[in-house]
Amino acid sequence: MAGSLLSRAFGALELLANHPQGIALQDVADSLNIPKSAAHRLLASLVEYGYVRQDTASAHYMLTMRLLTVALGFLARSGINDIAQPLMDRLAASTGELVRLSVIEGDPPNQSQVWVGKAQGAQQGLRYDPDMGRAAPLSCTSTGFAWLACLSDEDALQLVSRQGIALGPELGRNAPRTLKEVLSCIELARERGYAMVTDCSEPGLAAIATAVKHPVTKAVIGVLSVSGPSARLTEERMQALAPELLKTAEELGLGYQNSSLFGGRARNH
């Protein structure tokens, strides 16, 4: 019973995270496949603990800032800012593009890749600046391909199948539509030692990414990427940026032991 309640609570939080403008009680019940009365009790508990509030005008339920506060507090204490931010800032300044860092969460086979940090190098013109804290789509992003390229084909395709191939009109014309096409992108990333995409996860976007590896075991602990408008970040330019990207990823790997986010020891603040 406790497990079921906990599962419902996390399910409700994830549902509300996808509806920043709020969602009606009946919609919560329908989405979680529970009675309306059970949904009301669950939301009332989340309201009591300060993670959810009910809008007085619409009666819709929505997240408060407490969950974000907890997440940001964890990031601050994990050591990630001390280790990764200066390196990401340097790479962003050098490339003039958006630099992002993701970490590998969970244990096999239930792992995921979550974006946790960024540095914006573009000072003018087109800027690409997505939200942090969400799982990276594995089937259509350079960060996904860079991680999957370090796994066996079987393990890589299992992760993609579990998450699902990203489909929809918002994707770029080069987004893989089948597992065979995904595997071709993975194989190309293995050959290069890094992944490059253009017009894949969305039209007009290009990105290059490489894995951040444990300095001893060589296990993938994260992925570092540079992304921007494809009109500016051409394939030739991405190839020219690759050596600096690889060097920065290596430096991040060497500093892993100082951050609990990478599985090492965080500094005490």
What the chain holds in terms of domains, given with CATH numbers, is: 2-64 (1.10.10.10), 75-262 (3.30.450.40)
Over residues 232-252, mean pLDDT = 95
Cβ atoms of 61 and 54 closer than 8 Å: yes
Burial class (CB in 10 A: 0-12, 13-18, 19+), 217: exposed
pLDDT of residue 257 exceeding 70, the answer is no
Three-class secondary structure of residue 249 per DSSP: helix
Q: Which helix (H) or strand (E) holds 221?
A: strand 220-229
> pTM for the complete prediction?
0.71
Residues with Cβ within 8 Å of 76's Cβ and at least 6 positions away in sequence, in order, are: 269
Q: Is the pLDDT of residue 115 over 90?
A: no
Q: Is a pLDDT exceeding 70 seen at residue 80?
A: no
